[in-house]
Amino acid sequence: MTTASTEEKENKDLIKGGIVPMDKLLKDASNGLKIYQEGDAVSAKVEKVMKNKILVTIDDRINGIVGGKELLFDPQFAKGLKAGDVVTAYVVLSEDDEGRMLLSLRRAGKENVWNDLMKKFDAKETISVVVTEANKGGLIIELGGVKGFLPVSQLSAEHYPRVEGGNKDEILTKLHALVGKAIDVKILGIEKSSNKLIFSEREAIGNRDIPSELKIGDIVDGKVTGIVDFGFFVDVNGVEGLVHISEISWAKVDNVSNFVKVGDKIRLKIIDMENSRLSLSMKRLEEDPWKKAIGGFKVGEKVTGTIGRITPFGAFVKVNGKDGDVDALVHISEISSKHVADPKEVLKVGDKKEFKIVSIEPDQHRLSLSLKALEEPTGGEENKKTRKQESEETVKQENKKAKKQEEETVEANGSSPEENVEIAENTIKEKPIKERKSKPVGAQDLAPKKKVEKKTIKKKK
C-alpha cells in the first residue's frame, strides 16, 4: 500500500471513529498538540447531520458529537447545517465512553446564528421564518435566541393590515393572526453589537406581481381599498398601490379621509415601483402651485415681505407671489452683517421689510431671503477714494522730486538747458530698463522734454 493511500485510510478511519495511529499522534504532538478542557470553545467541522445528532471533527484529529437536548435550542439552525460547515461549539466532556468529545451548540448558539445571519444578509438571501409575536408596530421573529423585527411597513400586500381609519387595536388583531405562520423574508439590516435585526417581507417578494407594461410616469385608474394614517391603498388592475399622505395634495393634509373614501375610483400617477407595490400620487396630476407662485422671481431681485414667524434659526416671511403668498426663510446668518444671537433682537412678527432673494430651490419649495445683502457697505467707497488720493499724491511727490533733482544738476554743471537735456537724455539711455520703469513719471515731465528734444535736434543740425 502506498503512503498516500495509507494516509487517506487513516483520515477515513478518523472520521468514522476509528483508532488514531500512534505515528499520527506523535506527528501532531511535534506540531504542538492542543489538549481541550471542559468549557473551551472549539471550531468543529460538520461531517454528518443525523436526525437527533451531528457528528463533527475538531482539528482533523478528534471526533465529536452534538446530540439530544443540545439540538433543541434552535431546530431551524441545526436543520440548515450540512457536511463541510464549520461551527463554534463548547466542550461539555472531553471524552465520553466511546472516546468522542461531547460538545454543546447551546452556549455557542447565538454566536453561530449571528454569523449565519450575517452571511445571509451579505448574500441578500431569502429565508423562511416563523412569526413568534406581534405588536402594534409589526412582527417579532426569533432565530436561535436572536430576536428580529419586521415592521408593518415591510409586510407584503397580502399580509398588510388594512384597517378603516387606522384603528391601532384592529391593526394589532390582524397582526396577531400571523403569529405561528411561516413567511419568506430578507434581512434589511443587521448589527450584532446592538442586537439589531430587521426583516422585510416586501424585499423578499420583489416586483414579481407588477405587470411589465406598467411604467413609472404612467397615469392609471385605481380603486381605494383601505385608508391608514399615512395614506391610502389602491387596487390598480390587481396590483396594490400606496398613495402616501405627502402625495395626496400640494396643500397640508391633516386627515386622509377628507380627501378619499374606500371604494372611490380615482386617477393617479405612478412615481415608483418597489417590492410588488406601486407608489402613486394624486397631487402630481396638477401643476405645483408653489412653482407657479414664484414664477416671476429671480435670484438677486428685491421683494417685500411680512415677518410671519420667528425661530431660533431665523424668520419665516410671507412674500407676495404671482398667484398668492409664498413662504420664505431669512436665515439668522442673513439678518445682519453684525452678530445676531437671537432674531427677535432685530425682527418682530408683523414687520414689513424689503429683502433680497439669495436662492430659489423649486423642488424643495425653498425661497431664501437676505436683509444683510441690502446693507450699505461701511466705508467701502471712502476707502477706495482714500487709496486713490494717496496714490495720486505719491505720484505728484515723486514728480516734484525728479524735477528738483534735474534743476540741481543744471545749476551744478553750469550748462545751458539745451545742453543739460542732452546730458539727461544720454544718462537715461545708459540706465537699465528695470531702473527706468521704477521711476514714476508724470504728465508735467513729458511735455517739457518733447519741446527740448526739438531744440536739441536743431542744435545738432
Domain ranges of the chain: 3-115, 116-205, 219-285, 289-374, 399-460
**Residue of higher predicted confidence among 408 and 387:** 408
pLDDT of residue 363: 80
Overall pTM > 0.95: no
Residue 426 pLDDT grade (very low, low, confident, very high; cuts 50, 70, 90): very low
pLDDT(427) > 80: no
316-332 pLDDT, tens per residue? 999 987 777 888 999 99
Say how far apart CA 361 and CA 42 lie, in whole Å.
60
Tell me the HSE value of 272 on the side-chain side, using a 13 A CA sphere. 7
255 backbone dihedrals φ, ψ, rounded to 5°: -135, 115
CATH T-level topology, domain 219-285: OB fold (Dihydrolipoamide Acetyltransferase, E2P) (2.40.50)
399-416 pLDDT, tens per residue? 666 666 656 654 555 544
238-248 pLDDT, tens per residue? 788 899 999 99
Residues 76 and 144 sit within 8 Å (Cβ to Cβ)? yes
pLDDT(130) > 80: yes
pLDDT of residue 160: 81
Q: Helix, strand, coil proportions of the chain in percent (round to 5)?
A: 35, 30, 30
Pairing of strands 138-143, 86-93: unpaired
359-385 pLDDT, tens per residue? 998 888 889 999 999 887 655 455 555
Say how far apart CA 355 and CA 334 lie, in whole Å.
10
Say if 219-285 and 289-374 have the same CATH topology.
Answer: yes
Residue 235 pLDDT grade (very low, low, confident, very high; cuts 50, 70, 90): confident
pLDDT of residue 204: 84
Amino acid at 46: V
pLDDT(423) > 70: no
3-115: what CATH class?
A: mainly beta
pLDDT(18) > 80: no
Say how far apart CA 259 and CA 243 lie, in whole Å.
12
SS3 335: coil
pLDDT of residue 134: 93
Distances (CA, A) of 15 to 20, 61, 62, 310, 412: 10, 8, 8, 78, 121
pLDDT(15) > 70: no
CATH of domain 289-374: 2.40.50.140
pLDDT of residue 198: 95
**Residue of higher predicted confidence among 413 and 111:** 111
pLDDT of residue 6: 47
**Residue of higher predicted confidence among 431 and 60:** 60
Q: What is the mean pLDDT of the chain?
A: 76
Say how far apart CA 416 and CA 425 lie, in whole Å.
14
Say how far apart CA 204 and CA 120 lie, in whole Å.
12
CATH T-level topology, domain 116-205: OB fold (Dihydrolipoamide Acetyltransferase, E2P) (2.40.50)
Say how far apart CA 113 and CA 107 lie, in whole Å.
11
